[in-house]
């Protein structure tokens, strides 16, 4: 059972204390109804007035994981009591869908959680396309997911891929729009603001190895943006890339840990 414990440093009602520690009203209601709130080991309501040096414990409801378990190997780069960093392989979908009902990262995580006796569902902080490999952050609990996802732009992300043609350095700031049910995204003023920074690392055989930094995290963002400036990713059939091996990879994630407040910087090894 997941719980968070705090030492109170000033007088406050429990609901106000929870809000100041970024526990949402909805989550606090779930804790109240399906978990528990203890002050110095005794159950209390959210209206209870906390005093300095009280020890308050929020006991979170057990999470019900409905995703089928599959014994699939995971490449875990980092793990602590609150989150995981996974190096996802190319060709693995993140979650079960109609077109990919099994053998997903979520199925593998469900099995792993069973092995370590973790009663939680799957909380992916960032997602990667099926054919994109590399680093993904997985929160072990709902609260950790909420804290990390309050502003996803605070999670620093780098990627690498080979693109067509000779590329210099630059910034692409173009809105990306999803038109109806089509998988393909387009550049359109109706879309959401999307910003990609790019830097050329190498050039050979009319290909550039490019590093990307995302300010926003739209679906297919790198692929759409690079195609829009005439440099589609190699092997990207959806956005007009020439023949070759599609190799978009999430190479680095950096963020402030939501509990320890330490800066975590995780890099993928074995890059070109």
Average pLDDT over every residue of 173-184: 89
Q: Output the six-digit token pair for 149.
A: 């996802």
pTM of the model: 0.86
CA 114/CA 116 separation, integer angstroms: 6
Predicted pLDDT at 22? 84
Whether the per-residue pLDDT at 272 is higher than 60: the answer is: no
Residue of 30, 36, 129, 146 marked catalytic: 129
End-to-end C-alpha distance for the chain, whole angstroms:
42
The string of DSSP letters for 4-51 reads EEEE--S-EEHHHHHHHTT--HHHHHHHHHHSEEEETTEE--TT-EE-
- Residue 121 per-residue DSSP state: -
Predicted pLDDT at 80? 96
* CA 101, chain centre distance (Å): 21
Average pLDDT over every residue of 85-95: 96
pLDDT tens, residue by residue, 93-149: 999 998 899 999 999 999 999 999 998 999 999 999 999 999 999 999 988 998 898
Q: Do residues 148 and 258 make contact, with C-beta atoms less than 8 angstroms apart?
A: yes
Count the alpha carbons within 13 Å of 117 in the hemisphere toward its beta carbon.
1
Q: Which residues are CB-contacts of 152 (< 8 A; sequence separation ≥ 6)?
A: 125, 126, 217
Predicted pLDDT at 217? 85
Q: Is 151 a catalytic residue?
A: no
The whole-chain average pLDDT of the chain stands at 93
Whether the per-residue pLDDT at 181 is higher than 80: the answer is: no
pLDDT tens, residue by residue, 147-167: 898 877 789 999 999 999 999
Q: What percentage of the chain has pLDDT greater than the value 90?
A: 82
Residue 1 binned pLDDT confidence (cut-offs 50, 70, 90): confident
pLDDT tens, residue by residue, 168-177: 999 999 999 9
How far from 44 is each of 5, 35, 57, 59, 242, CA to CA, in Å?
14, 12, 10, 12, 63
Q: Output the six-digit token pair for 77.
A: 């780069």
């Amino acid at each position: 059972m997941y719980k968070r414990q705090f030492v109170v440093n000033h007088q406050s009602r429990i609901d106000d204390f929870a809000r100041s520690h970024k526990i949402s009203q909805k989550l606090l209601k779930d804790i109240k109804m399906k978990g528990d709130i203890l002050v110095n080991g005794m159950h209390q309501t959210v209206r209870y007035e906390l005093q300095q040096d009280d020890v308050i414990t929020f006991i979170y409801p057990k999470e019900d994981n409905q995703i089928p378990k599959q014994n699939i190997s995971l490449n875990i780069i980092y793990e602590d009591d609150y989150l995981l960093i996974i190096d996802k392989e190319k060709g693995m979908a993140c979650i079960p869908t109609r077109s990919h009902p099994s053998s997903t990262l979520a199925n593998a995580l469900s099995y792993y959680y069973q092995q370590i006796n973790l009663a939680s569902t799957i909380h992916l902080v960032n997602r990667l396309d099926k054919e994109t490999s590399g680093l993904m952050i997985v929160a072990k609990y709902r609260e950790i997911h909420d804290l990390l996802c309050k502003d996803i732009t605070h999670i620093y992300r780098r990627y690498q891929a080979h693109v067509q043609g000779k590329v210099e350095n630059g910034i692409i700031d173009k809105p990306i729009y999803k038109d109806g049910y089509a998988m393909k995204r387009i550049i359109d003023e109706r879309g959401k603001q999307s910003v990609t920074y790019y830097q050329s690392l190498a050039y050979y055989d009319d290909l550039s190895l490019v590093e990307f930094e995302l300010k926003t995290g739209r679906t297919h963002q790198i692929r759409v943006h690079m195609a829009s400036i005439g440099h589609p990713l190699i092997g990207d059939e959806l956005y007009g890339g020439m023949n070759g091996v599609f190799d978009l990879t999430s190479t680095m994630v950096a963020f402030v840990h939501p509990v320890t407040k330490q800066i975590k910087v995780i890099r993928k090894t074995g890059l070109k």
